[in-house]
Structure 1
Amino acid sequence: MPISVHLRTYTGETLAICSHPSINALCLRAHNLGLPGLGHVDPEDNTVFNRLQLRLLIPELIRLAQEAPTGEAEAARELLALTEQMQSKPHHVLLFNGD
């Protein structure tokens, strides 16, 4: 099942969702490149990034948006848009929902 990414409040309210079909491939590419943030997203469980962890995640997404094949690059850009929303709001997380 594909990974979806949810921008959520700490109380569990979902504010936005990215369900790009290439998120799984993007995470696999990050894993193969040894990237410590996106490369450790669990495709079979939930992985959560808080605002402080965006310092690790954003540079990885920027790199992948520039270097990855088209579909994966689009997914990276969509995820970057979620991180932009998250940076301006305290008490929010990005939940990578694997299944």
Structure 2
Amino acid sequence: MTVASTPESFSEARDHQRIVRYAERAGLCLLCAVHLANGTQLGFTVTAPPCPSCVPIVSAWPIEKLNGWRTLPGRVARQPTWKGHYNLADVDLSRPGSEHL
């Protein structure tokens, strides 16, 4: 999807929310997690750079992008990509659907 294209699909919205949740669990603030999700879907040229407190987390990721961003290899909306980048013990399994984050 691009900024000037059709409305976001259900699967794009679901992937966006997953990326936000994974990024927050990895330690990013909510705003930077949303910027990462937007950058992943729309491109990092339209995304603000990470805030100073999130830069150390982002700089540890292997793939360099624009505007000071780095990302993980593979599909960022899929849990295996994030393995080792957040603690699965932090996932609240009492919340319905959280086991599928």
- TM superposition score normalised by structure 2: 0.28
Greater share of residues in strand = 1
Larger radius of gyration: 2
- TM superposition score normalised by structure 1: 0.28
